[in-house]
Amino acid sequence: MKRLKLTIVLTLALAIAASGCSKGSDGAVLARVNRSAITVSDFKRQLEELDPRMQQAVVTDPKARKEFLEDLIGIEVVLQEARRQGLDKDAEFKKRQDALRKKMEQRMQEDTKNELFSNLLKKELADKMSKLPMPTDKEVNDFYTKNKDKMRTEAGKQLSLKEVEPQIKRRLLQEKQRELYLEYAKALRSKAKISIDEKALDAAAASFSQPSQPNELQPQAPPATKEGSGK
């Protein structure tokens, strides 16, 4: 897929250059709509939203390319009319935009935290996790025996050890990875200054909207850090 997109972008760059736009300049203007401009960058960004076959049609067929640009022009004139009518100043619209912006910022913050978390685990634990021993036959058998009643299909048919052995091995390896992570986190906690406001914690739990059907929380294994680590 990446190779296909790269080919499309390169073909597009050549097509634009042949049309007289500055080669390699994403800021080159393809069309002007009143005081606004549609640039090569705008064109590429919208093109990336299409499925590969439509992308290929746009970059190889001059007629399809012109029609695509006409579509972008159509969108722009509608947006300009919306602004002319003051719809972008509407209180409800601004409220929704603020909420959306806040949600996007929160998502970016969470993505940043997740990446930092994963990167540190890879740096500190990748080598140790790659050296974790695979679950032994005894460990697999013990787990199966202990949880045999749960090893069933949706129809209730009992699954044999052979049928579920790969899943059990993966589960046990993930548990070992999690134990390694918890040991690492515990060592960091011992060096940190931590305080907990129990009253605020209780208030937060009390204010949380309860789901109609409470779900059992399942502890998750830390992110896989290397191929072969069990993911």
Res. 12: pLDDT tops 70 = no
Which residue type is seen at 144?
Y
* Confidence at residue 70, expressed as pLDDT on a 0 to 100 scale: 94
* Confidence at residue 26, expressed as pLDDT on a 0 to 100 scale: 80
Taking residues 168-182, report their average pLDDT. 94
pLDDT band at 210 (very low <50, low <70, confident <90, very high): low
- 153 Cβ contact partners less than 8 Å away, ≥ 6 residues apart: 159
Q: Which of 163, 171, 178, 177 is nearest to 139 (CA)?
A: 171
* Confidence at residue 229, expressed as pLDDT on a 0 to 100 scale: 44
pLDDT band at 187 (very low <50, low <70, confident <90, very high): very high
* Confidence at residue 207, expressed as pLDDT on a 0 to 100 scale: 86
* Confidence at residue 23, expressed as pLDDT on a 0 to 100 scale: 45
Q: How far apart are CA 56 and CA 64, in angstroms?
A: 10
Res. 107: pLDDT tops 80 = yes
* Confidence at residue 114, expressed as pLDDT on a 0 to 100 scale: 95
Alpha-helical runs (H) found in the chain: 2-18, 40-47, 52-60, 62-84, 91-130, 137-146, 161-191, 198-207
Taking residues 71-85, report their average pLDDT. 94
42-69 tens-digit pLDDT: 999 999 999 999 999 998 999 999 999 9
* Confidence at residue 223, expressed as pLDDT on a 0 to 100 scale: 47
119-147 tens-digit pLDDT: 999 999 999 999 999 999 999 999 999 99
Q: How far apart are CA 180 and CA 177, in angstroms?
A: 5
pLDDT band at 211 (very low <50, low <70, confident <90, very high): low
* Confidence at residue 212, expressed as pLDDT on a 0 to 100 scale: 53
Average pLDDT, the chain: 83
Res. 117: pLDDT tops 90 = yes
